[in-house]
Amino acid sequence: MNRLISSLAFVAAVTAGSIVPLPASGQGEVNVYTTREPKLIQPLFDLFTKNTGVKVNAIFIEKGMAERVAAEGANSPADIMMSVDIGNVLDGVARGVTQGVQSEALAAAVPANLRDKDGHWFALSLRARLIYVSNDRVKDKALNYADLADPKWKGKVCIRSGQHPYNTALIAAYIHHYGSAKAEEWLKGVKANLARKPAGGDREVARDILGGVCDIGVANSYYVGLMRGGSNEDQKKWGAAINTIMPTFPGGGTHVNISGASVAKNAPNKANAVKLLEFLVSNEAQAAYAKVNYEYPVRPSAQLDPIIAALGTLKTDQIDLTAIAKNRKQASELVDKVGFDQ
């Protein structure tokens, strides 16, 4: 038992020594909670620190970010909450963990349809939901989203889980354009065409096309850049096996989703938080978004990465983003109703 006591004492000592000090709430820091893996945008944070001297601490909380910030309440260290998908961004606002930010720089850089009028959220980058096709087995040059249900693709379509935010947002937009009855028919049709269970991530679509599992699939635009422009030799082959098509909705626009950010309601470093947001929509950072992560910038003047520019001109669907968030629950229910993931 003496040993037990001494080991307890040891553990207590180690714990005391290793307990991570809460990020200081003084000058020089900003704390980012993100549902998006922070390494994806680490180069941007590094650039910000270099420019301003403000250190960025980021923690990746994939699920339950808003819940954690809400529970932490007045003592939450969170300054900024970043997430992908408009639905997730608006969830934070609905949860009451954000605050409105008035900033001329933000208002000037981000088009009005890509931010909240009261400053509770701002889009930082855009991504288009594309169709990848096999470049040796598929000759089609133009397709729209509805075509995914065309029986000619039976057994040839790959897609990730219908419950993934990228897909629920797409389905929500489909509901907006066609109505829920047609959306349900469409989902049934797509399901009937599936080559395998909806699973994995977007990159698996390209990989499975190269592997002969499917001929056509749905995936986000920036993965093309990550695969073709990255350092992984396998993934370069996946990226080389596909052509991309920008599918359209009635009206000729392609579905886009956002990555976005809000300032936390109890942000201890609010000034730095606003500074970071303003930096993220600056010309310099927006160009980096495009270059590092192959996304479409929200700032219209920023340049695209050549790999993404080569995919063609993006004409975005003119739907109101909040309409996508509003239809999300229904989209998620339709996915279950048709047994899309089963």
Partner 1 sequence: MLRAFRNSGTPGWTLAAILAAAIVVSPIVALVAIASQGSGDLWPQLTAYVLPSAAINTGILLLGVGLLTGVVGVGTAWLVSTTEFPGRKVFDWALLLPLAIPTYILAYAYLDILHPLGPIQSALRALLGLSDPRSLYFPEIRSMGGVIFLLGFVLYPYVYLAARASFLMQSATALEAARILGAGRFEILFRVALPLARPAIVVGVTLALLEALNDIAATEFLGVRTLTIAIYSTWLNRSSLPGAAQISLFMLAIVTLLFLMERWARRHQRFFASGKRVQPPSPVPLDRLKAFGAIAACALPLAIGFLAPFAYLAEQAVRKLTSGGVSPMIWRETFNTVLYAGIATLFTLVVGLAIAYALRADKSGFASPASRVASIGYAIPGTVLAVGLLWPLAAFDNSVDAALRQWFGVSTGLLISGSGAALVLAYTIRFLAMSINATEAGYTKISENIDHAARSLGESSFGTLRKIHLPMLRPALGAAAILVFVDCMKELPATLMLRPFGVETLATHIYAEAVRGTYEDGSVAAILIVLAGLVPVVMLARVSRPAITPSTISS
Nearest to 24 by CA among 69, 57, 58: 57
Identify which of residues 47 and 210 has a Cβ nearer to partner 1 in the complex.
210
Nearer to partner 1, 199 or 271 (CB): 199
Q: Report the distance separating Cα 221 and Cα 177, nearest Å.
A: 21
Closest alpha carbon to 82 in 203, 320, 258, 235: 258
79 binds partner 1 (CB under 8 A): no
What is the C-alpha to C-alpha distance for residues 21 and 331, in angstroms, rounded to an integer? 42
Q: Which is nearer to partner 1, 68 or 182 (CB)?
A: 68
CB of 102 to partner 1, least distance (A): 27
Residues 6 or more apart from 34 whose CB is under 8 A from it? 58, 59, 60, 61, 65, 81, 82, 83
Q: Return the number of the residue (57 or 303) whose C-beta is nearest partner 1.
A: 57
3-state helix, strand, coil in the chain (%, to 5): 50, 15, 35
- Window 278-317: residues binding partner 1 (CB under 8 A): none
Residue 247 CB, nearest distance to partner 1 (Å)?
A: 22
Based on the shown chain and the rule CB under 8 A, indicate whether residue 67 belongs to the binding site for partner 1. yes
With beta carbons less than 8 A apart as the criterion, state whether 156 and 114 touch.
Answer: no
Beta strand pairing call for 98-99 and 242-245: unpaired
Among 6, 9, 13, 14, binds partner 1 (CB under 8 A): 14
Give yes or no for residue 1 binding partner 1 (CB under 8 A): yes
Taking contact as CB under 8 A, which single stretch among the options 19-27, 100-108, 110-118, 119-127 is the one that binds partner 1?
A: 19-27
Q: Which residue among 26, 50, 53, 75 contacts partner 1 (CB under 8 A)?
A: 75
Buried b (16+ CB within 10 A) or exposed e, 56-95: bbbeebeeebbebbeeeeeebbbbbbbbbbbbbbbbbbee
28 binds partner 1 (CB under 8 A): no
Binding mask 86-125 for partner 1 (x = CB under 8 A): -xx--x--x-------------------------------
333 interacts with partner 1 by CB under 8 A: yes
Q: Report if residue 213 touches partner 1, rule: CB under 8 A.
A: yes
Q: Residues binding partner 1: what is the number (CB under 8 A)?
A: 69
Measure the CA–CA gap between 207 and 313, rounded to whole angstroms.
25
Considering only 41, 45, 47, 77, the residue that binds partner 1 (CB under 8 A) is: 77
Burial profile 105-135: b = 16 or more Cβ within 10 angstroms, e = fewer:
ebbebbeeebbbeebbbbbbbbbbbbbbbbe
Residues near partner 1, by CB under 8 A: 1, 4, 7-8, 11, 14-15, 18-20, 22-23, 31, 37, 39-40, 57, 59-64, 67-68, 71-77, 87-88, 91, 94, 161, 163, 165, 168, 196-203, 207-208, 210-213, 223, 226, 231-232, 234, 328-329, 331-333, 336-337, 339, 341-342
